[in-house]
Structure 1
Amino acid sequence: MSIAQQFIQLQAEATHIYRFDEVYSFRAAQEQAEKEKLNAFGMLAKFTPWNRPKEDTVLLSRSEARMEPFWFVKANRNVDYTCALQYPISVHNPYAQKVSLLGTSFELARQGDKAKFDLPAEEHCHRKLAFSTFLDGMQRPIKESVLENYCSKYRFQEVEEIAVEGMVKPLIPQQTVIQQACAQLNGQAINAHAIQSDSVLLEEISLYLRPVFAFEFIWSTADKSGVIEVDGLTGAVRTDGQWFAEKLDRLLTRDMLVDASAELAGALIPGGGFAVKVLHKLSE
């Protein structure tokens, strides 16, 4: 099969940073965390009669209001290709021995009173494949529907930059987001004899930041710690929370994401035998 080099294009205004507005305040979140602090050390600790956490032995160690990232990516792949195949043609004349068509003769294959011949043909095809998904930036198994629900139910605004304070550094970088989109699109089979053109258009790569409050409690008599998280949008409490020590170490701007998208996409080598030739940053 003849394979064309694949182009990856970045659509103009494809990259965005969105920040959700807090629904619950830090103070309200802390009150909820205090109510749940005895559950921060697992079920076994809670139901061990001779050694379990108590109000006076569980103390707040540290707390933070942080912004947790998740990604949205939307892309499509456009492929122009040809398929070489044989069209079976039925012949109803019982006396026919062969058929001439456009200067070419075809012998008939007979089975009983039926006859046919195979006509070689080439189909010229165009296929558009679409892909979109939400990805938790911290590599947790959060369902896509949960992240999508944040966007549909809660207010957010686009920002041009994010200060480093409180911004958790994504464990899934922009490069991985682009790679996953290209891998999903290139993983869909194209039944082709030859591919004339192949391109992936990155329509949207958005970074969403949602508010989360984290409270670390120390169980002094057992020398254990646990983290309570309170979702700043829904108010939901997690008693098995995490403390993300690595924060963003520099100002993050939308222009930085745009430049990174262009640079990273241009460096990709997707699977399936396709090679990236060049990235076009579309400005019109």
Structure 2
Amino acid sequence: MQENVRFADNAAKIFVFDQVYPLAAATEQANKKKLYAFGLAAKLNPFKRPKEETVLLLKHELRYEPFWHVATKREVDFSREINYPVDVGNAYANKVVINGTEYPITEQGNKRTITLAAVEFCHRKIPYEDYLDGLCRDVKKGALENYIRKYKLQEHVELQLPEAVASQVRVPTLLQKVNQTLSAEAINAHEFQQDTITVEKAYLYYRPVFAFQYSWTTEDKVGVIEVDGLTGEVIENGQWFKDKIESIATREMMFEASAEIASAFVPGSGLAVKVIEKITTGS
């Protein structure tokens, strides 16, 4: 049976975190680590290392990096055929009749039973929740969730943020991952009456990150130091992302596209997600 997919009310939302660290503090942090912007080989090479006077700041930016919080549940109504063994306590009984149907008694050791054929009608809920970096990087477990729990953010009905980096994780890919996880859950059933996946949250978050690009002048190399705009954490050997969101994205666009996005769950179906990709790709 194919799953039915639906989006809960207000399932699609966009949030932007309030910046905590100012540029001056981020710059100071980055300059302390600028010699480590050129990778591990440069950092460990005892004969050719960058020096303070040979590493110059080329440019800096405050950008907003995306990540996703997705919460879904799969609800399944199904039935399965099963045989119930029922103990017979009367030692003198040799058969049992229930509603006109005769059931023979079987004996095994000192145990005497009859077997009732039955159909169980069941309802099962299977939840799935995850946090995914929009730039496909390995992120320490719990880090993205901690941002949401600890730092202030604002919901945006309309997102006009030229500093936002386009997400490399597109909505169809995100939801296909959800579906694969939910569908992998084994259900022992003879028949399915209903199989529904509900997307309760498809939240897209943008967090502030400072990026400082440095030039190692004597080696003609360029490196990047990143400073988290929320925690102040410094990332050595960072990245400079060129793809930014060029168009306005709205929550309504996400919600209106949800019916088409849901088709990503159905193998072989056409996928015509257009408007939502303004959010994830900037196209």
Q: What's the TM-score, normalizing by structure 1?
A: 0.89
Q: Name stretches of at least 5 consecutive residues in structure 2 with no aligned partner.
A: 271-283
Match of 1:94 in 2: 91
Q: Matches of 1:196 and 1:212 in 2, distance apart?
A: 48
Match of 1:256 in 2: 253
Match of 1:202 in 2: 199
List per-residue Cα deviations over 1:147-184 (Å, max 9, x = no partner): 11001111001112222511111011112222222222
The correspondence for 1:238, drawn from 235, 258, 269, is: 235
Match of 1:215 in 2: 212
Q: 1:77 to 1:33 in 2, by over 3 A?
A: same
The correspondence for 1:117, drawn from 114, 118, 125, is: 114
Alignment of 1:129-278 (within 5 A): 129-269=126-266
SS in 1 for 2:181: helix
* CA apart distance, 1:70: 0.5
Q: Matches of 2:35 and 2:109 in 1, distance apart?
A: 84
Structure 2 residue 134 is the aligned partner of structure 1 residue 128: no
Q: Matches of 1:139 and 1:53 in 2, distance apart?
A: 30
Q: Matches of 1:48 and 1:198 in 2, distance apart?
A: 59
Q: 1:270 to 1:188 in 2, by over 3 A?
A: farther
Q: Matches of 1:117 and 1:107 in 2, distance apart?
A: 6
Match of 2:281 in 1: none
Q: Matches of 2:182 and 2:23 in 1, distance apart?
A: 42
* CA apart distance, 1:264: 0.8
Contact 1:17-1:206 at 8 Å conserved across structures: yes
Contact 1:213-1:230 at 8 Å conserved across structures: yes
Match of 1:58 in 2: 55
Match of 2:10 in 1: 13
SS in 2 for 1:56: helix
Q: Percent identity?
A: 46
SS in 2 for 1:243: coil
Contact 2:172-2:264 at 8 Å conserved across structures: no
List per-residue Cα deviations over 1:3-32 (Å, max 9, x = no partner): 3x3211111111111000100112221221
Relative to structure 2, which stretch is displaced further, 43-52 or 203-212?
43-52
SS in 1 for 2:246: coil
Letter paired with 1:63: H
Match of 1:104 in 2: 101
Relative to structure 2, which stretch is displaced further, 31-40 or 262-271?
262-271
Relative to structure 2, which stretch is displaced further, 240-249 or 83-92?
240-249
RMSD (Å) for aligned C-alpha atoms: 2.0
Letter paired with 2:22: S
Instruction: Say how many residue pairs are matched.
Output: 270
Contact 2:5-2:197 at 8 Å conserved across structures: yes
Structure 2 residue 2 is the aligned partner of structure 1 residue 28: no
Letter paired with 1:117: I
Contact 1:74-1:205 at 8 Å conserved across structures: yes
Contact 1:134-1:144 at 8 Å conserved across structures: no
SS in 2 for 1:151: helix
